[in-house]
Structure formats: structure tokens, C-alpha cells
């Protein structure tokens, strides 16, 4: 009933209307969504000089998305072990998957219309993935966990994620790394060693540590992809 009421009284603001059409809920704090679709290249600053972009919301949305997908998988596969659940979650939330989801939901169009693109081109894969996570972060702050869970489950997982197909793919280096660590009794973790600014783009340099020793490094505009590269580089040596 609430969704029908919301649609009958659709907001006039184009972004607010887009959020309503996408989620079924009227945005309470439109500023959150405007920030979510503001890429770091826009270089907006507040009166205090603080750079306003979607990176903080991206950080939050990443954690929320991980939690929601983990809960969905935990309930969907009650007899699968931790390694399987970790691998499946990684396949759902990696940059390639989030880029495709963002395009199917029209997130990339919102990013272009709000933040613009200095080169007049469509957003890159990493920009789309980051915007998707930032949007989830904004929606969580605006609507709470329950509605965020239902949105991700109803509009993303049930419609855009094919778990049977994902189980047939084996392209996730991080999930393979988890399995390797379990087999060999090793501890693993990733650390951002540095960030490098190249023009308008910022690159993450991520170190992979095995038993607290740096064994490989990955670099990418997206932190998760940098982790994937570091894991892939190490596995090529460890399994080769």
C-alpha cells in the first residue's frame, strides 16, 4: 500500500523520482543520494574545505552489501561451509558483477547526470561499481537495514543474480586464496599500502600478507580489484 501511495504522489525532483522508481521508497534525505552519485573526480568541497564525494558512502555500502549478501547466502545454503559462502559472496559483490548490476538498474545514468564526466564518456566499470556501493550506503542511512535488505534481495539478488551460473565460474582469486589458506593452515589479510594519484584517477596499492609477511601486491582504481590482482599474483606462484 505504501509503495502505491508513493507512486501516486511521485516527487517532482528528477533524482528523487528515479530513487522512488528504483527502490519503491521515497527518499527522505536526497542529499545522501546526490553525494552517492558524486564521483571523486568532481572535486566538490564543503565550506570547511572537506572534499565531498561518494567515497565514504562507498565504504559503508561495501560493508552493508557484504552483510546482506552473506545473510541471504547463509539462509539459502544451510548445509554449505564457510569457504563456499565466502566464494559465492565474492562473486556477487566483485567489481565486474557490481558494474553489470549498476548498468541494469540504471545507476550509471544517475552517476553521469549528477556528477558528470569530464571526458564526456560513459562511467568506467570501477566508477559504476563504486557508485553502486555508495548508493547502497546512502539507501541504508536513509531507509534503515530492513528496507535495504528487502531492496537488495528483491531487486538485485532475485532478479539479477544467477547462483547456479556463479557456481560454474572459477574466476575469483580471493575465494581460491581462502581455500588455499585453509588447506595450508595459513593466515591471510590484505592491507592498503599506498594510494597513487594519476591525473583524475586514484589507484590503490594493496599488499597481500600471508602469516603477516607481504607476498604480493596488486594495483587498481578499485580496492577489491587490487586485492584480486594481489591474490592472483600470489596463487600463480604458489600453485604454479
Residues marked active site are found at 62, 133
Please give the DSSP secondary-structure letter assigned to residue 123.
P
Report the alpha-carbon distance of residue 234 to residue 178 in Å, rounded.
12
Beta bridge partners of 213: 210
8 Å CB contact between 73 and 161? no
Cell of 131: 557508485
Distance of CA 207 to the CA centre of its chain: 20
Report the alpha-carbon distance of residue 23 to residue 27 in Å, rounded.
9
Cell of 165: 551460473
Please, what's the largest Cα pairwise distance for the chain? 61
Beta bridge partners of 195: 204
Report the alpha-carbon distance of residue 85 to residue 238 in Å, rounded.
23
User: Which stretches within 77-222 are classed as H helix?
Assistant: 82-93, 95-105, 107-115, 125-143, 145-151, 158-160, 163-168, 173-184
8 Å CB contact between 58 and 133? yes
Amino acid at each position: 500500500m505504501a509503495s502505491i501511495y508513493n507512486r501516486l504522489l511521485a516527487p517532482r525532483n528528477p533524482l528523487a523520482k528515479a530513487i522512488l522508481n528504483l527502490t519503491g521508497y521515497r527518499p527522505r534525505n536526497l542529499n545522501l543520494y546526490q553525494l552517492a552519485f558524486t564521483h571523486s573526480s568532481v572535486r566538490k568541497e564543503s565550506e570547511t574545505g572537506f572534499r565531498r564525494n561518494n567515497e565514504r558512502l562507498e565504504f559503508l555500502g561495501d560493508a552493508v552489501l557484504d552483510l546482506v549478501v552473506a545473510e541471504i547466502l547463509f539462509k539459502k545454503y544451510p548445509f554449505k561451509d564457510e569457504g563456499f559462502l565466502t566464494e559465492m559472496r565474492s562473486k556477487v559483490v566483485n567489481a565486474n558483477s557490481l558494474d553489470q548490476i549498476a548498468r541494469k538498474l540504471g545507476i550509471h545514468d544517475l552517476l553521469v547526470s549528477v556528477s558528470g564526466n569530464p571526458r564526456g564518456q560513459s562511467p568506467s566499470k570501477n566508477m559504476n561499481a563504486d557508485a553502486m556501493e555508495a548508493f547502497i550506503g546512502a539507501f541504508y542511512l536513509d531507509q534503515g537495514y530492513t528496507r535495504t535488505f528487502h531492496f537488495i534481495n528483491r531487486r538485485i539478488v532475485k532478479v539479477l543474480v544467477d547462483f547456479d551460473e556463479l557456481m560454474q565460474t572459477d574466476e575469483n582469486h580471493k575465494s581460491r586464496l581462502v581455500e588455499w589458506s585453509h588447506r595450508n593452515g595459513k593466515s591471510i589479510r590484505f592491507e592498503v599500502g599506498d594510494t597513487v594519484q594519476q591525473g583524475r584517477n586514484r589507484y590503490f596499492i594493496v599488499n597481500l600478507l600471508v602469516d603477516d609477511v607481504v607476498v604480493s601486491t596488486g594495483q587498481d582504481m578499485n580496492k577489491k580489484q587490487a586485492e584480486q590482482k594481489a591474490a592472483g599474483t600470489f596463487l600463480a606462484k604458489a600453485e604454479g
